[in-house]
Every structure is written in C-alpha cells, then in structure tokens.
Amino acid sequence: MKIFLVGGAVRDKLLNYPSSEQDWVVVGATEAEMLSRGFSPVGKDFPVFLHPESKDEYALARKERKVAAGYGGFNFDTDSSITLEQDLLRRDLTINAMAQSSDGQLIDPYGGQRDLQKKILRHVSDAFVEDPLRVLRVARFAARYAHLGFRVAEETMALMQNLVKSGEMQHLVAERSWKESERALGERSPWVYFEILQQCGALAILMPELSANLQQNKLAIAALKKACSLQANQPVRLSALCHQLAPQKIREQLAQLKAPKNYIELASLCSQHQRAIANFQQLCAEEIFALIKQSDALRKSQRFNELLLSAKACVQAQRSSNHNFSSANQLAYAAKLCLSISGRALTNEGLTGPEIGAELERRRLQAIGRLLDSIHSSKVTVTLKPAGADRAE
C-alpha cells in the first residue's frame, strides 16, 4: 500500500500558487483495508475515504471505462493491482496528472511539469472527450491562471469543440455545471471562463441567451471585469455579466442551471433596475420609492447594496471609465431615510390600522423629496459600503 499526493496540491506547489487542495491516491489497497485503518467511506460513484484525523480525501487508484452518456456514464475499476500511472492517465489535464511520493519525489508520466513551464492547459489523452464536465473544468482553470499567461492548447480546444458537437454536453447534470460555473466566478479572471466556453460552443448550450449576447457585443464581459475590479462577490459578478438580458430570460436560464435563489434574484433585479439606478437624479420621488420597494431594499439591505454595486459595474463598463457613480450612494441614502421612518413611531403617535401604512408611505415620499431637493441644490454626497468580495477557492 502506497500513498501519493496528487492533482491540485502538486500543481500549485510547483507554481508557487496558493492552494488548499489536499487529495491523495492510494495504490495497492482494497476498500476493506481502508476501512480497517479507520478511514470513513464517502460518495457512491467510486471508493473515496476520509482520513480519520485530517479528514483529507483518499481515493483508491482506479481505471474507468465509458459505458453511457454524460458525466456519470462510467464504470470504475479499483483493483489493488492498478498502478499510479494508470490512475493519472484518466485525469483531465497534464498539469493535474502529477503526483508526489511521501519522500518528495515528483511522478510526472505525462509531461505536466513541462506544460506548467510552457503555461499550457493540455489534455492527458483522447479519453478527455468522454467526460463533458472537462470542458467546464478546462475553462475554469483558464480563468484561474490567465493572469499568469496560461492558455488552452490548440489540440485541447479542438477536442472541446468536438465534444460539444457530439452532443455530450446535453447530458451534463445541471448541478455539476453550476458548481463549476460558480467556482469560475470566484477566480482571478472569471470572464476567461465564459470566453473559453463561447469559443468551444459550450456556452450556447448552457446559457444560449448569454452566448447570443456575447456574439453581439463585449459590454457584458466589460461589466464583469468592472465588477471584479470593484472586488465584488460572485452574485454581483454574475449580475453584471447578465445585465443586458431580459429578467425573465435570466430567471429561466439560471433556474435551469440550478443556480441558488440569491443569484437569480440579484441578476434579474440588476437587469430590471440598473438603468433607473444610473439615472437616479432624473427620477421623481415616486419613481425612486417604487424602485426601493420593488427591489425590497428595506428588508434586504445587503442584497440592495449588491444591486447598487452591480449597477455601478454596468455603468462604468458602458462609460469605459471609473465613474464615481454617485447615484448608487444617493439611492442607498434614500433607502436609509425610508428605513429610519418606522411604523412603530406612528403607532406611538396614535395612528392605527390602514392609517399607519398610508402615513408611512407619505412620510417616506416626503423624505425622498427633501433629499432630491438637497441633492439638486447643494450636491449632497453620501458613502456606500460595497458588497463583500467573497471568492471561491
């Protein structure tokens, strides 16, 4: 029984790149032997175990054979006679098909270190086309390492295009597609992910409306880049990318991808309201109050801040500048003014029932009107705290 560190940990160590991955391959062992040593089994597809102390994942060395369409259409062989080289052969990219022994020796049978030095993302074998998820994984690695100069090998891009043409992408489970896409949104250069998927034809299958939009102009990519420069989190980045699509199309496509509700809601709100937010000073008090209510700003202040940040990225992309976008700050302040006027205070004044709601709206409209007067007369400025920069590892 021999244990090897594999994949991302080896790759990123050679790159001197931050990594939290710690995946291990066990050669010469059986499932019964792993259990006898205190390892806990996880997953149903193939034998993977959690270390009893570190909780790192340890997988038995395996071979695989394509038996059906899609990501899950494989049979796995985990016989104890399978070698490390056979296990590494099934991996997607050469830079992910390296291992390190317990004494620090590098095992690199397929040229991963060479491709790291050349900054190339290259497939290990022609079996690459058997797994449609690998198209997304290659695009995500391209997004992760683009700032270092990495590119997809021409022959690998050709295989990705052939895989898309074969219809295999149609069998990809939505949850897996979303997981890769969400992780890609948190990478250093997430726009590269969507550009690579567009180049190989996969984006037209995953998000056809977005694909059609990218064919027409580059504003969506520019907005995503601006969102990244603003240190925005993943929902804001996706909202900026999709801001030119119709809200209903956004909801339909993101729902098909199994995106979480917060992503869907924010992206559709950005599409619906980003123009109004940009033109805040041209709106009347009633229009501003309607925008605040429609975006549920008074109950979901964090999401409202994310909406404003998304709109800021869109405006800066359109104007090709770092416009200070005071409209976002002023709209945030308007929402704070509304929130400061509470129904409890009106109850203390003796109002009851429907009177409270009517008076609450009247006073909030008055507060917005006074703010507009102040802005127009003295150029009031306020400060908006941006949404956090949560990133996937």
Q: Which residue has the tokens 């939009």?
A: 213
Q: What tokens appear for 44 in the block?
A: 């149903």
Question: Is 317 within 8 Å of 226 (Cβ atoms)?
Answer: yes
CATH 1.10.110.30 fits 119-206, yes or no: yes
Residues forming CATH 1.10.110.30 domain(s) in the chain = 119-206
Looking at residue 75, its pLDDT comes to 66
The Cα 247–Cα 177 span in angstroms is 21
Looking at residue 333, its pLDDT comes to 92
The Cα 228–Cα 282 span in angstroms is 28
Q: In terms of Cα–Cα distance, which of 130, 127, 92, 131 is closest to 11?
A: 92
Looking at residue 80, its pLDDT comes to 86
pLDDT tens digit at each of 393 positions of the chain = 899 999 999 999 999 998 887 899 999 999 999 999 999 998 766 789 999 998 899 999 988 765 455 555 556 678 889 999 999 998 999 999 999 999 999 999 999 999 999 999 999 998 898 889 999 999 999 999 999 999 999 999 999 999 999 998 988 889 999 999 999 999 999 999 999 999 999 999 999 999 999 998 899 999 999 999 999 999 999 999 999 999 999 999 999 999 999 999 999 999 999 999 988 888 999 999 999 999 999 999 999 999 999 999 999 998 765 555 788 888 999 999 999 988 887 888 888 888 888 999 999 999 999 999 888 786 545 444 434 443 333
Question: Is 11 within 8 Å of 116 (Cβ atoms)?
Answer: yes
Other CB atoms within 10 Å distance of the CB of residue 203: 22
Q: Which residues contact 95 (CB under 8 A, 6 or more apart)?
A: 11, 112, 115, 116, 121, 122, 141
Rounded to the nearest 10 degrees, the angle between the axes of helix 190-200 and helix 234-241 is 50
Using only C-alpha atoms, what is the Rg of the chain? 26
Looking at residue 354, its pLDDT comes to 87
Q: How far is CA 298 from CA 271, 272, 302, 341, 367, in A?
A: 20, 18, 10, 11, 15
Looking at residue 117, its pLDDT comes to 97
Q: In terms of Cα–Cα distance, which of 31, 37, 107, 38 is closest to 76?
A: 31
Looking at residue 383, its pLDDT comes to 45
Output b/e per residue, 31-62; b: 16+ Cβ within 10 A: eeebeeeebeeeeeeebbbebeeeeebbbbbb
The Cα 88–Cα 86 span in angstroms is 6
Which residues on neighbouring strands pair with residue 57, listed in sequence order?
A: 23, 50
The Cα 330–Cα 312 span in angstroms is 12
Looking at residue 351, its pLDDT comes to 82
Residues forming CATH 3.30.460.10 domain(s) in the chain = 1-112
Choosing among 1.10.340.70, 2.60.40.10, 3.40.50.1580, 3.30.460.10, the CATH entry for 1-112 is 3.30.460.10
Residue 329 identity: N
**Cα 153 to the center of its chain, rounded Å:** 24
Q: What tokens appear for 240 in the block?
A: 């900026």
